[in-house]
A and B are shown apart, each in its own frame.
Chain A
Amino acid sequence: MTRKTESDEIRADLATVEVLLGAVPEGDILGRRSLTARRDILTQELATLTAHAQPSAHAAVYFGGAPVVGSRGIDATFASKALANYEDFVTKIWGQRQHGNLPASGPVRDRHEARLHITGVVRGSFGFELAELEGPTSLEGAPLRDAVELATRAIIAAGESDDALADAAEDLDGRAFAALREFFTVLKKGGASVRVVTDDLDRSFDVSAVLAAAERTQGALTEEEDVPVPGEFLGVLPERRTFEFRRDDRTVLRGRVSEEMPLADLGQLNPNWATKRCIAHLRVVTLTSRTRPRQRYILRRLVNAPSQ
């Protein structure tokens, strides 16, 4: 069970108990004490859950629509394909973040470190809970948990809009994006709806939203690692890590500053570079979808323009 699902259920339980407490008749001493004890237990559980953030990965994926027969079962072929594609998508993101952009083909290095287990089956629509049982393998944070969050954000973005998907695609390389496409293709072919839940996210997409997402992910994702662009640096918002840069043709590029730039360097961008002519080295991610290409710019560094 993800932390979010669990906290939602405790909150719902707590709300019910509060309503019951509000309706206790005069004279029902033990009834009031019973409900108060229950309320205290739930409040304590919620506090404990909030205090103990889970460093390991947790996610739940629920399916509805054609492959699901009430709460009784789910088409086995569909379920195995959809889950395999979900897990593959997470693994690709994990591999990209651990080892840099993946080669065009071949296995993901050390993928055994990114193993998710099915830890529960939830009925209603038909859901699978997945978790990292062997714990984070890195001393520097929780990479698989981060990959699950990123994958879920990308799935949600694909269900929302072309622009949201282009934003999310900034963090994906070509193989991860292909895995996202494959995930939605399986859902589309199966006529399924989907709900994705992690510790912090929870979104549902009906069958028509899944069809739209599948269509959106048919676009091509291309990435140029280092594009030098001459122009004038206009400034950066350091907390949001967003920048503006005016090209020589007067158009203004907006985007975010790469995470590879240390915070100290980020703080020096405005004092050292604002309104100066320079060359911005950008990573440019282009998502070409049905309507028009959408480009996202990630600032890697600024260098002095050659003197004229």
Chain B
Amino acid sequence: MNDAIRAPRDVDIVTFFFRPASLADRRAWEAAIDARPDIFEHGQVKTDFRCDSYWVDLSVPAPLYHVDQTRYWFGLFSHRRATQQWKGMLELPLGSLAEDHEAANLLRLHDDPED
């Protein structure tokens, strides 16, 4: 089927983030990551949510490295490999917990409009 009209098989996500101050320490950060494979483990996220998820940690003090990373992920997801056609990207700011609840309610409504 034509790529332009078929539904996507997965969603690619690149999250640019600053670590919370409480996780500035390397050991604490590593423990936090390992505690949530449902969020941070690429294979599990792919299986559970059909998302290819990648992360750019802006707390790492290496601006040129961030430029290279951004350039790579942007280049990768802005074009189709087969045709070199432009692809669109959505930028979603990470919201508050209240907004997450609101979004979850919307999704539930969408899943079951009878509710």
Contact = CB atoms under 8 A, between A and B. Distances in A.
Contact of A34 (B42, B60, B65, B82): B42
Interface residues of A, number: 25
Contacts of A34: 42, 53-56
A113 to B, nearest CB: 25
Contacts, number: 60
B30 interface: yes
B81 A33 contact: no
A33 B55 contact: yes
A30 B55 contact: yes
A124 B33 CA distance: 42
A120 B82 contact: yes
Q: Most chain-B CB neighbours within 10 Å: which of A16, A17, A34, A37? A: A34
B69 interface: yes
Contacts of B33: 29-30
A120 B4 CA distance: 12
Contact of A30 (B40, B43, B62, B65): B40
Interface in B37-90: 40, 42-43, 52-57, 60-62, 65, 68-69, 72, 76, 81-84
Interface of B: 26, 29-30, 33, 40, 42-43, 52-57, 60-62, 65, 68-69, 72, 76, 81-84
Given A6-B82, A30-B40, A120-B83, 11 more contacts: A6-B81, A20-B68, A23-B68, A27-B60, A28-B60, A29-B26, A31-B69, A33-B40, A34-B42, A37-B42, A122-B84
